[in-house]
Structure 1
Amino acid sequence: MIARFEISSEQIDCVVAVFYGAVRRHEVLGPVFAAHVTDWTGHEAKIARFWKRAILYQPVYDGNPMRAHLQAGDVMPEHFSHWLALFDDTLRRTLKPEPAAAWSALAHRIGRGLRMGVEDIRPEVAFGPPILR
């Protein structure tokens, strides 16, 4: 299969490493990830495999991102805007404009799906308590 856009496996590894370095320092995302990730090297390798499957069609990832986000229990819909902004910044700083834009579009599409899944499980967080009057 032809990759979704021109990028190498090594570039994916680089983006993932730079991104998670920024996540660890982020005031909102850092504590959420720190509560769940104890092996950053292993986590980064797993997420790189996710992106290699999504972009390069390499059959190297078989996880379930939606389940992982829901099982964490503390991932909130508002976290996704932080995640995507930080990811976009990483892409712009790490890649040429064309692959950065293509990867960003894919990440935003995936992020919308994950956010919707989290909102469906936690409607009280997304929309507030029901008004019964």
Structure 2
Amino acid sequence: MQPRFDITEDQIDRVIAVFYGAVRRHEVLGPVFNRHIGDWPAHEAKIARFWKKAILYQPGYDGNPMQVHMAAGDVRAQHFPIWLALFDETLRRCVPSQTAAGWSALAHRIGRGLRMGVEDLRQPAEGPPVLR
């Protein structure tokens, strides 16, 4: 299969390293991530495998991001726009604009799904789902 867009494994690794460096320092996201990530190099390697599978169709990632985000307990819907803005900023800094646009669109699509899962988890059982 052809990659979704033009990018190398090294570029993916760099984006992930730069992004999570920014996440660790972020005033809102940092505390949430730092409560759950004990081994940052291992986490970054796992997330790089996720993106290499999603973009390059490489094997190597077999996790369940929805389950992880929902099980964390302190991930909130309002974290996703912050996460995505920081990710977009990282993409603009690290990869060519066409690559950044393709990866951003994919990240936003995945982020919408994760945010909806987290929102649904927080809804009262008798309440309707939030469809945004």
Partner of 1:88: 88
Once the two structures are superposed, residues 20-77 of structure 1 have per-residue CA deviations (whole angstroms, 9 ceiling, x without a partner) of 0000000000000000001000000000000000000001100000000011110000
Give % identity: 70
SS at match of 1:99: helix
**Where does residue 25 of structure 2 map in the other structure?**
25
Structure 1 residue 44 corresponds to structure 2 residue 57: no
Please list, as runs of the form range in 1=range in 2, the aligned pairs for 1:51-90 lying within 5 A after superposition.
51-90=51-90
Aligned residues: 125
TM-fit CA distance, 1:123: 2.0
> 2: distance between equivalents of 1:2 and 1:60?
17
CA–CA distance in structure 2, aligned partners of residues 77 and 114 of structure 1: 8
TM-score normalised by the chain length of structure 1: 0.92
The aligned residue for residue 101 of structure 2 is 101
Consecutive unaligned residues in structure 1, runs of 5 or more: 128-133
Find the counterpart in structure 2 of residue 11 from structure 1: 11
- Tell me, in whole angstroms, the C-alpha distance in 1 between the residues paired with 2:71 and 2:122: 12
Q: Which runs of 4+ in 1 moved over 2 A?
A: none
CA distance in 2, matches of 1:123, 1:105: 27
> Could you say what secondary structure the match of 2:59 adopts?
coil
Q: Which 5+ residue runs of structure 2 have no aligned equivalent?
A: 128-132
